[in-house]
Chains A and B, each alone.
Chain A
Amino acid sequence: DADVTQTPRNRITKTGKRIMLECSQTKGHDRMYWYRQDPGLGLRLIYYSFDVKDINKGEISDGYSVSRQAQAKFSLSLESAIPNQTALYFCATSTPYQETQYFGPGTRLLVL
């Protein structure tokens, strides 16, 4: 579903580098989320935002930061990447009136 897009789709970086993962949506949803998926650990919430002025930490926010530039854009940054941040990252959106979350296609990140 192209309503939620993530860039890049794949990224290889080195330890210590700063990288940014971007998420854009055309669904007009107020709420946006960043998740991390690791094999056997499911989906873990990193940060979420209920509107442009609202940012909340999730379960595993250490080592990450986010920016909500507009209703449609929510970026995730790794200030100094480390190998254990190697994972699949998903952005998702929802509305305040419907709990259904719509996920992007994911970004596969490898930190060497």
Chain B
Amino acid sequence: GENVEQHPSTLSVQEGDSAVIKCTYSDSASNYFPWYKQELGKGPQLIIDIRSNVGEKKDQRIAVTLNKTAKHFSLHITETQPEDSAVYFCAASYGNTPLVFGKGTRLSVIA
């Protein structure tokens, strides 16, 4: 089955700097790659996703890139703000298979 590896497990950045979180997946059939943000005391919430027919997608300060050949995808957050501090999860799936999540990255934005 699918296996998703996520790095780093923790990340600290200065406010205004960029943050990058990377994930690799094992199943070449996977074609859907979402990113979820979990704030303290809440459930995860989708922030951006990408499908395998697209190499990059942007939404304001966040972007996701996908390299199908290398089977990895990344989340980029620019101009980080304190409210970006959270745990971020990547995931992968295809068809009706359930999402397989990475182990998460705890991002701390230092003011």
Q: Is the A/B pair a real complex?
A: yes
Interface residues of A (CB under 8 A from B): 1, 4, 33, 40-45, 48, 50, 58, 90, 92, 96, 99-101, 103-106
Q: List 6 A-B contacts (CB under 8 A).
A: A41-B103, A50-B96, A101-B99, A105-B41, A106-B42, A106-B43
Main secondary structure on chain A at its contact with chain B?
Answer: strand
A103 engages B45 (CB within 8 Å): yes
Q: Which of B89, B99, B100 contacts A99 (CB 8 A)?
A: B99
Interface residues of B (CB under 8 A from A): 6, 9, 32, 34, 36, 41-46, 49, 89, 93, 96, 98-104
B42 engages A42 (CB within 8 Å): no
B98 engages A105 (CB within 8 Å): no
A33 engages B98 (CB within 8 Å): yes
Complex: A44 Cα to B99 Cα, angstroms: 10
A101 — which chain B residues lie within 8 A by C-beta?
44, 46, 99
The answer to whether residues A100 and B43 also contact, given A40-B103, A42-B103, A45-B98 and a CB cut-off of 8 A, is: no
